[in-house]
Structure 1
Amino acid sequence: MTAKITDRPLMKAGRKPSNPPADATERVRELAADGWSIVGIASRLGADPKTFGQWLERDPSLQEAFDLGREQERQTLHNIIYRKAVEKEDITAAIMLLNSRHGYRNDQSDQGNRVNVTIALPGAMTLQQFTAIGKNEDNG
């Protein structure tokens, strides 16, 4: 017969946390800079995406490497679009940069060729005010 649960020592559930590879910081920065997702980076490091997320939470230098890699990717993409907009005078690229960097928005794009009808209603009236309007229109 088994002993009661209160007689046994309590054990923590799950495995002991794993550690990232020795060269993980540099590899994470390079992979993030090349546009790899968290799932892809985890796969390249031989880890589950949840495990990789835990590594990022536990190791500030690893999180910083990931953030720096993402910023490097963003800067590279920005430079490509900027050069296309300025040097090649690409209007689409210029509009995209104005929208994303400077908050320009074309709010009428979803309006298309729709007709816009506005109906203005008078405020509340008493019966005497309403009948007076009707009499004025008949006399006019």
Structure 2
Amino acid sequence: MARPFEKLPPGAKKHLEAMASNGLLSESRAADALGMPLDQFRRVLREHKPSREVWDNALSIERDNLLDALYSKAVEGDVKAAQTLLAARHGVSEKIPQEKGERLNITFQLPAAMDAADYMKAISVKQEALPNE
């Protein structure tokens, strides 16, 4: 039985960054490309900080490439791409109000609860006799 991996193998940084640049980065593909079982790959990322940093850097490359592609689409006039970028990078969305001052607040104040006897007194109505004219 082979010894479990304690860190990513040599050359993993270069290999993972290339995968990220080509849009092929996923845990399962990365583990397979590095010759590691997926469970050991995940454990190494969890327990070995330098390996986690290599993985995070590769994810950053992938994220930057995706944002660049999205930006290109937005500049070309793709409204959905522009909306997505505004929401993701700048927190601007058509679903939430832009200014806090534009919100309407309504407050309801309910009376305190009554015991049963007081409630019955409050709802009982005495009929008054109408004057006979």
Q: Which residue of 2 aligns with 1:47?
A: 36
The 8 Å contact of residues 28 and 62 in structure 1, kept in 2 or not, is answered as no
For residue 138 of structure 1, what is the aligned residue in structure 2?
Answer: none
What's the counterpart of residue 77 of structure 2? 89
TM-score, normalised to structure 2, is 0.60
Question: Where does the alignment leave 5 or more consecutive residues of structure 1 unmatched?
Answer: 1-13, 108-121, 136-140
| Conservation of the 8 A alpha-carbon contact between 2:17 and 2:58 | yes
Aligned length: 103
What secondary structure, in the 3-state scheme, does the structure 2 residue paired with 1:18 have?
Answer: coil
Shift of 1:15: 6.1
Aligned to 1:89, the other structure's residue is in SS state coil
1:127–1:22 distance in 2 versus 1, CA, 3 Å: closer
Map residues 77-116 of structure 1 onto 2, 5 A cutoff.
77-86=66-75, 88-103=76-91, 104-106=93-95
Residue 38 of structure 1 deviates from its aligned partner by: 0.6
> Percent identity between the aligned chains?
27
TM-score, length basis structure 1: 0.58
Query: Alpha-carbon deviation of 1:58?
Result: 4.3
Over the aligned positions, Cα root-mean-square deviation in angstroms equals: 3.0
Q: Structure 2 unaligned runs (5+)?
A: 97-109, 114-118, 129-133
Q: How far apart, in 1, do the equivalents of 2:29 and 2:46 lie?
A: 18
Q: Deviations over 1:4-30 (max 9, x none)?
A: xxxxxxxxxx86333543212221232
Provide the residue aligned with 1:21 in structure 2. Answer: 9
